[in-house]
Amino acid sequence: MARTIPKDRFHDLLEAATAVFLEQGYRRTQMADVAARMGVAKGTLYLYVESKDALFDAVLRHADAADPVELPDRLPVAAPSPDATLEMVRKRVAAAAVLPALASALERRRVVDVNAELEAILRELYAVLAGNRTGIELLDRCSMDHPELAAVRYGTGREGALALLTRYLGDRIARGKLRPVVDLDALRIFACYLLFLFHVGMVFNPAPFYHVRNDETSLVFLIVCGFVSLWHMPLFFLLAGGPLHRRRRAAGPAPSCRSAGASWPFRW
């Protein structure tokens, strides 16, 4: 009698592989490491994928999937060509780079409420990061081993979004809707960095900022207030989590990020 493969086993494999790739990067990850994470023999993995390349492609292809990944019709999954993986990443990044709220704002001739407009843009950027945070972290973690994939993520993805945001901020400052700044590039990078840090970096960081609420409403309010009126970085964190910080300080010193082994995701 043929052995029946559990339907959720392929999904479990991708979950285990994702965790190991994030911890060790592509080059250091071995199939034995993934097998150990799953609690199965190394040979079992080859029932599902032909190689580590096939596994990495499947992990990237299904990263951030809303539903559990179903068992493929044909097993083991064949190793794709490098061009196939690169093209798949290009398509995913291009789809994530579609920003309707930002595009509409750039075409708008009359600005009625810049606060609401900016809030919509930041919520949109936040949603893109939220919906792709595992894929983003995978590409960042494995960028040294796959520079061609990193070039797509940083070039087409990040720089494309930053270029649009720069155009928007420059236009609104020129119209007098936002306060002028000395360095517009630094400002747009700071905004996008905060978005990245609060919804991607803090998810994978073992010691995040304990006094900042990691939710969409708090973060968007935080950045909008800074753009429109405040411009002082300490006030960003005060607005985001001052009451929590005071309660935490009263309870005792916080654990050191350095002692906890945190690695700060300064990538924007």
CATH number of the domain within which 26 lies: 1.10.10.60
Radius of gyration of the chain (CA): 21
pLDDT value of residue 217: 57
Does 111 lie in the same domain as 240?
Answer: yes
Q: What is the pLDDT of residue 157?
A: 84
- Are residues 126 and 191 both part of a single domain? yes
Same domain, 92 and 74: no
φ/ψ (deg, to 5) at 77: -70, 130
Q: Which of 80, 112, 140 is the last residue of a domain?
A: 80
Residues 72 and 15 in one domain: yes
Residues of the chain whose pLDDT is less than 70?
1-3, 182-268
Where is the domain boundary, 47, 80, 113? 80
Same domain, residue pair 100 and 76: no
**In this structure, is residue 176 part of a structural domain?**
yes
Question: Which 3 state secondary structure label does DSSP give 77?
Answer: strand
In this structure, the answer to whether residues 121 and 187 fall within a common structural domain is yes
Cα 232 from Cα 238, distance rounded (Å): 10
As a whole number of angstroms, the distance between CA 222 and CA 208 comes to: 17
Q: Flag whether 266 is in a domain.
A: no
Considering the domain architecture, whether residues 95 and 154 belong to the same structural domain is answered as yes
Q: What local confidence, expressed as pLDDT, does residue 220 receive?
A: 56
- Is there a domain that residue 262 lies in? no
The terminus-to-terminus CA distance of the chain in angstroms comes to: 54
Do 110 and 196 lie in one domain? The reply is yes
In-domain check, residue 1: no
As a whole number of angstroms, the distance between CA 177 and CA 173 comes to 6
Residue 233 located in a structural domain: yes
- Cβ pair 216, 223 in contact under 8 A: no
- CA distances 178 to 111, 113, 118, 168, Å, are 11, 11, 10, 11
Asked which of 56, 80, 104 is the last residue of a domain, the reply is 80
In terms of residue numbers, what domain contains 57?
9-80
The reply to whether 166 and 238 lie within a common domain is: yes
Predicted local confidence at residue 189, as pLDDT: 62
Count of structural domains within the chain: 2
| Pair (209, 121) in one structural domain | yes
Predicted TM-score (pTM) above 0.85: no
Q: Are 14 and 53 in a shared domain?
A: yes
CATH number assigned to the domain comprising residue 136:
1.10.357.10
47 and 159, same domain (yes or no): no
How much is the pLDDT for 161? 84
263 is a domain residue: no
